[in-house]
Amino acid sequence: MRRAELKHLSVLMATVFIDMIGFLMVLPLLPFYAERLGADAVVVTLLIAAFAFAQLIASPLWGRFSDRLGRRPMIISGLLLSGAAFVLFALASSLIGGGGEGGQPLFGFEHAGLWLLFASRVIQGVGGGTTSVVHAYVSDVIPHGERAKALGWMSAATSAGVTLGPALGSFSAHWGEAAPGFVAAALCLANAVFAWALLPEPERDRSEDGEGRPQEPLFSAVGRVLADPGREIHLLIFVYAFGMMAFMAMNSVVALFLERDFGATDETIGWFYVYVGALSFVMRAAILGPIVSWIGEVKTLRVGAVSLAAGLVAIPFTGNLGLALPWNVVVLALAAALVPIGTALLFPSTTSQISGRALRHETGQTLGVQQAFGGVSRVVGPVWAGFAFRDLGVPTPFWIGAGIMVGVFLIALRVHPLGIEGRRTATEQLGVEEEGV
């Protein structure tokens, strides 16, 4: 990569790193705080799905607006919304009863803490819809051959935030339940100022695709994926969506699983996220790039699907082996490692392949559509996982997710590597469509 490309990427990586610190300061605490405010397993997973639902609605719009108004202002706006969401999380946390159980009423309203948590998750989901904008930014400044590696580095930055965020959240919780939310909000505000000062607007080459060509309506773009699911770019969107569904189903109940089978609490759950985040960081920063160079993006995402499926199968068994400390934790760590390995190989490679097949003037919208399908998965996965966990047994969400990943692998077998020319121009893309390829 050229020096200018690395400069753009390094500033963007710092932005998402700080953003993810704030996100992971509060996420591991959410199930425990929600339970203290009167929630059961289904309500906990609905809280997680609320974020995804808002992200689902907002993500395509963020991508479309970024194509028209620029990537930089959309990223900064998302950071400010996330900061407001963390303030609401802090206010909800402050309503936890003095004895640690049962939420205090607010202005005479019962369960006000849960409603504030839902509001926080919705606003944070709207701010989190800028994921597609971040991916489009990378696509703008990084050439195709380096894009999967760059997306891996971006993911590594988020993974570093995943590693640091839970520890910072647990540390700040010593000042009270509301402290992590306020600290995360302060980080978001500082991050928005940092992005405003140092993050430049990327230059986009629109000459090949005819500046001024109208984009198709947003819902038409989504409908086109459903109407023609066999096109490779659409298959890749489904790979991303179903893979995200399986991952989010697991992610929504893993804290409850660890609480039940390993005695995890809000003071110890952060260490699990630190471990997973550290593994994910190493994978995306140091290992993903060489693997992609060795076997290519398509084979990399296939291997990722297999690894994630294996992890989902193995994790539930770790709670029933009857091993004493520390061996039960060691076995859990080995099984859980397959999940960050799988996601590190699967998602960056899939996004790179999608951006490589998108028309230049519709990159933001195409990645927004990808995030829209992923948003549906982020909503649906936690919801059915919560019911399965409560009504069908603790292992059920994990094993259903593993079955979904087998389907993802089979879909990925129908995807062929993208040519060395990278993304097609609009004329070439239309010609391919007319030939029915």
For residue 207, what pLDDT is reported? 46
Average pLDDT over residues 384-410: 95
Does a cis peptide bond (omega within 30 degrees of 0) precede residue 229?
no
The 10s digit of each residue's pLDDT in 328-348 is 889 999 999 999 999 999 998
Determine what percent of the chain is predicted with pLDDT higher than 90: 31
When the pLDDT of each residue in the chain is averaged and rounded to a whole number, the result is 82
Average pLDDT over residues 140-166: 77
**Range with top average pLDDT, 150-164, 209-223, 354-368, 383-397:** 383-397
Determine what percent of the chain is predicted with pLDDT higher than 70: 85
pLDDT at 164 over 70: yes
For residue 361, what pLDDT is reported? 66
CATH architecture of 3-200+217-435: Up-down Bundle (1.20)
The 10s digit of each residue's pLDDT in 261-292 is 888 887 788 888 889 888 988 888 789 889 99
For residue 218, what pLDDT is reported? 61
pTM, entire model: 0.74
Rg (the chain; Cα; Å): 21
**Taken in order 230, 235, 238, 242, is the CA torsion positive or negative?**
positive
Average pLDDT over residues 150-159: 76
Average pLDDT over residues 217-223: 73
Reduced to 3 states, what is the DSSP secondary structure of residue 179? Answer: helix
For residue 323, what pLDDT is reported? 67
The tokens for 242 are 């179903």
Please state, in angstroms and as integers, the Cα–Cα distance from residue 144 to each residue in 147, 153, 177, following that order.
Answer: 5, 15, 45
pLDDT at 42 over 70: yes
The 10s digit of each residue's pLDDT in 63-76 is 778 888 888 899 99
For the chain, what are the domain ranges?
3-200+217-435
For residue 100, what pLDDT is reported? 45
Closest of 114, 272, 82 to residue 184, by C-alpha? 82
pLDDT at 90 over 70: yes
Residue 33 confidence class, pLDDT cut points 50, 70, 90: confident
Q: Given the structure tokens 């605490």, which residue do they identify?
A: 29
For residue 121, what pLDDT is reported? 92
pLDDT at 203 over 80: no
Average pLDDT over residues 413-420: 78
For residue 209, what pLDDT is reported? 43
Reduced to 3 states, what is the DSSP secondary structure of residue 392? Answer: coil
pLDDT at 138 over 60: yes
For residue 324, what pLDDT is reported? 66
Residue 436 confidence class, pLDDT cut points 50, 70, 90: very low
Residues 66 and 133: beta-carbon distance below 8 Å: yes
pLDDT at 421 over 50: no
CA-to-CA distance for 250 and 386, rounded, in angstroms? 10
pLDDT at 101 over 70: no
For residue 122, what pLDDT is reported? 93
Alpha helices in 228-326 (DSSP H): 232-262, 269-282, 288-295, 297-314
Quick count: other Cβ atoms within 10 Å of Cβ 314?
A: 19
More confident residue, 345 or 177: 345
For residue 1, what pLDDT is reported? 52
pLDDT at 182 over 60: yes
Buried b (16+ CB within 10 A) or exposed e, 46-77: bbbbbbbbbbbebbbbbbbbbbeebbbebbbb
Average pLDDT over residues 203-207: 58
The dihedral over CA atoms of 177, 252, 149, 143, expressed in degrees to the nearest 10, equals: -100
Average pLDDT over residues 295-302: 94
Contacts of 269 (CB under 8 A, 6+ apart): 28, 29, 32, 166, 255, 258, 259
At residue 323, what is the residue type? L
For residue 148, what pLDDT is reported? 66
**Range with top average pLDDT, 120-134, 169-183, 296-310:** 296-310
